[in-house]
Structure 1
Amino acid sequence: MGIGNWELGIGNWELGIGNFFLVFLVFLVFLVFPIPPFPHTPYRGSS
């Protein structure tokens, strides 16, 4: 969903920065705490 929000972010920088920060925090949380309910994550598969 973060990638989809990027389109909105490019159009509206104020909202984009807010979404980017939120997605970044979620991304860090996923890296530090892998959530069991979502074993299939595109980030882990790609990396």
Structure 2
Amino acid sequence: MEKTISNAEALNHDAKGFNFAKLQAVLCMAASAAVSISLLVWACKSFL
């Protein structure tokens, strides 16, 4: 019984870590997209 509980806890911990990693990846992509968009806007404003 103890073994199954610790296994479930380990799986739960892994799932949390995976979700956090996914969240970080999404935030990273959003940040780079925002940077490229603002650079694009800045370039357009500079040339217009």
Q: How high is the TM-score relative to the length of structure 1?
A: 0.45
- TM-score, with structure 2 as normaliser: 0.45
- Higher share of residues assigned helix: 2
